[in-house]
Amino acid sequence: MSDNKKAIIIGAGPAGIQSALNLAESGFDVSIIDEQIGGNYAVAGSLISNALIYLSYLYSSYMNKTTKFLDHVCEDNSFNFKKAKKYVESVSAKLKKNYSDDLENSGVNYIKGTARFNSENSVIVSEEENEYELEFDYAVVATGSRGMSNELSSSGKLITIRDIFELEKIPSSIAVIGGGFVGAEFSAFFKRLGSDVIIVEKSNRLLNSFDAQISKKYEDSLKKQSVEVIKDAEVDKVEKIGNKCITFLKDGNKIESEEVFVAIGRKPSLDNLDIEKAGVKLDKTGKPRLNTKLRSSNEAVYFVGDCTGLGMLVNWAYRSADIATNSITATGKVFQRHVLPRVLYIDPEIAYVGFNEDDAKEKGFDIGVIKYNFSDIEKSIILGESKGFLKVIYNKKNKRILGCHVIGKGAAQIVSMFSVMIQSKVSIDSISDYVFNHPTFAEVLSDIASKVK
Ligand SMILES: Cc1cc2nc3c(=O)[nH]c(=O)nc-3n(C[C@H](O)[C@H](O)[C@H](O)COP(=O)(O)OP(=O)(O)OC[C@H]3O[C@@H](n4cnc5c(N)ncnc54)[C@H](O)[C@@H]3O)c2cc1C
């Protein structure tokens, strides 16, 4: 038997896989337990959503450019969910194969099953009909998150990303319940396919974690695309009557649509883990109490990825796995959650990194704000996409960049550059020293520096 320390990883999504590979590289004996490799990520998460979004882009550009031509030569030119499923499954299979190969090459023991805690240093593993105990020196919980759609009362089946492929055809109209990230991306998805879209949001603005000015611009763009937005509207229940769905709001109003897509948020997935047996303490909201290294009240148990409740993004899955495993292997890395960038592939594209204006003020920074229109970026002019807006927030005291918020084509690329600068603590007045290719979105940096007061 090897003298190496034993680590078990519960969950084989990106956070679990990254933790397993890191610890295997550091000489641990690692077992990773999950019914499937790839996690929610490869079944009903980011990978699936982004592959679908890509297909909706293909479809809408194809439809826009060739509608007239197709009217004359084709009979059935509609988006086909069964074909889309095949494509998305092939994307998912490639990722799963990469993950499996990586695990095998790193000597990680993959156990196809589930795990629940049995004590502070052991779990019970269930593999088909087999159950046994496995002890650990360290455990990393990477069990992801689950959608909250079952918390919505409905007399029939509502659509989530999990069952989108069951659609027989493009819905003529769809109510999207929830105006957060997933709601925004799937509203754009159905709009590209040609559905009439109504977004129903509980709070008083869409994308309410984004900078207020950016979410206002997003709402304005929805108006122009004839997407109806109903805010301050809490859904009471949905009833399916024949081929129609009626969404009843608590204020007495109702919305009729052919289908309803639910995107009302996600929760850390901690059920069936018998977490209390591990001595892991939860906070008032039911999330694990973690220190900055993501260690729980049981010093041998760490949490990574969505199940931390601290971030629900793939970049967080990978980053949190590095933080936790660096702590286990004593190489240490602190975590700065606000530097995680975020992109939404909606129309127009939106991305951000760092604090928004309200957050930065609330944190007590003396802030400077630079606003910039895309009509000043040559790359945008050339692409005929000059309707964008960019906002940079910086600390007037030391000129450090605090946040960047962009709406318009190229948003993700611009934000990626700011992400590097925020993490490298580059001061805003020094960015004029950099030289970029022309024409690129990067050139905006030189201009921005000249606006610092
Ligand atoms: C519709 C949608 C769109 C998204 N789009 C984006 C995007 O554009 N960009 C982005 O960055 N993120 C996006 N995300 C979020 C991203 O998918 C998640 O942040 C990511 O999958 C989290 O990875 P994870 O490893 O923490 O968990 P998961 O990928 O959820 O994996 C967790 C795994 O743990 C397993 N598990 C659970 N309990 C047990 C147990 N007791 N024993 C063994 N195994 C267990 C599960 O079976 C699962 O396989 C999106 C999510 C959704 C739902």
For residues 165-182, average pLDDT: 95
Grouping H, G, I as helix, E, B as strand and the rest as coil, residue 39 is coil
Question: What is the best residue among 33, 41, 416 to mutate for testing ligand 1's pocket, by most ligand atoms within 8 Å of CB?
Answer: 41
Is 80 buried (19+), middle (13-18) or exposed (0-12) by CB count in 10 A?
A: middle
CB 14 within 8 A of CB 318: yes
Among 171, 30, 424, CA closest to 434:
424
Residue partners of 316: CB distance under 8 A and separation at least 6: 305, 306, 310, 337, 340
- The mean pLDDT value of the chain amounts to 90
316 CA closest ligand 1 atom index: 19
Q: Residue 46 C-alpha to ligand 1 middle, in angstroms? A: 8
Q: What is the band of 11 on the pLDDT scale with cuts at 50, 70, 90?
A: very high
Q: Which two tokens stand for residue 276?
A: 């209390």
What would you report as the CA-atom Rg of the chain, rounded to the nearest whole angstrom?
24
Q: What is the pLDDT of residue 331?
A: 67
Q: Cα(first)–Cα(last) distance of the chain, in Å?
A: 65
Whole-model pTM? 0.85
Q: Is 45 near ligand 1, meaning CB less than 6 Å away? A: yes
Amino acid identity at 183: G
Q: Can you tell me whether residue 136 is helix, strand or coil?
A: coil
**Lowest-pLDDT choice from 346-355, 384-393, 437-446:** 437-446
Ligand 1 pocket test target in 270, 314, 337, 350 with most atoms within 8 Å of CB: 314
The whole-number pLDDT of residue 297 equals 97
- String of DSSP letters for 272-314: TS-GGGGT--B-TTSPBP--TT-B-SSTTEEE-GGGGSS--SH
Give the β-pairing of 145-147 and 266-268: antiparallel
Segment 163-188 mean pLDDT: 95
Question: Is it the case that residue 133 has pLDDT exceeding 70?
Answer: yes
- Mutating to test ligand 1, I would choose from 187, 190, 312 the residue with most ligand atoms within 8 A of its C-beta, which is 312
Q: Give pLDDT, residue 103.
A: 96
pLDDT at 330: 82
Nearest CA to ligand 1 atom 12: 313
For ligand 1, the distance from its centroid to the CA atom of residue 119, given in whole angstroms, is 26
What pLDDT, on a 0 to 100 scale, did the predictor assign at position 431? 83
Atom of ligand 1 nearest to the CA of 37: 49
Ligand 1 center from residue 450 Cα (angstroms): 42
Task: Write out pLDDT tens, residues 123-132.
Answer: 999 998 899 9
* Amino acid 72: pLDDT: 47
What is the per-residue pLDDT for 453? 72
- What is the tens place of the pLDDT at every residue in 35-44? 999 999 998 8
The residue contributing the CA closest to ligand 1 atom 2 is: 45
Q: Which stretch of 78-82, 184-188, 368-372, 411-415 has the lowest confidence by average pLDDT?
A: 78-82
Tell me if 149 CB under 6 Å of ligand 1: no
Residue 338's pLDDT is 65
